[in-house]
Amino acid sequence: MPNSHFTETDLQTEWKWFLDQIQQKDIVIYNAISGFKVHKEDEDLIRIFYPSDTAKSEFDKVSHDFLNHFRHKVHNYRFRVEYKMDAVNLKKEIVTKRSLFEKYVQINPVLKELDDLFKLDLS
């Protein structure tokens, strides 16, 4: 099996192309995987950083397409792929009914008047 050299630029170019294709085909998967970071770590190792397990499960649906395309494009069938969670970019936010309501009040202040009038229970 061919084992041609490929560069980080080759990898980034094909990743961008793949994201463009996914954006046109399936916006849900695109939104899930657009935050991924793909890096060439070694001559035969590609490391993919993902923000959450949910995003990775979405990528698992299309990873075969990307990896096969990349293998054919660079004529390299021997590289390995490792996945690693990128916890730094993972944004965790606890959303309560009240905090969500406050966010909507900033957009539309009339909601505050409705809350005062109807005494909504947003606990």
Residue 37 sits in a domain whose CATH number is 3.30.300.180
Domain boundaries, position 40: 8-89
Q: Please, how many CA atoms are within 13 Å of residue 14, restricted to the half-sphere of its CB?
A: 21
Q: Tell me what pLDDT residue 98 has.
A: 82
pTM: 0.69
Question: Which pLDDT score, from 0 to 100, does residue 36 have?
Answer: 94
Contacts of 35 (CB under 8 A, 6+ apart): 50, 51, 55, 89
53 and 100 share a domain? no
65 and 40 both lie in a single domain: yes
Sequence-distant (6+) residues with CB within 8 A of 66 are 14, 15, 18
Q: What's the confidence (pLDDT) of residue 73?
A: 95
Per-residue pLDDT of the chain (123 residues; tens, 9 = 90+): 778 999 999 999 999 999 999 999 999 999 999 999 999 999 999 999 998 888 999 999 999 999 999 999 999 999 999 999 987 655 555 667 888 888 899 999 999 898 888 888 776
For 76, the 3-state DSSP assignment is strand
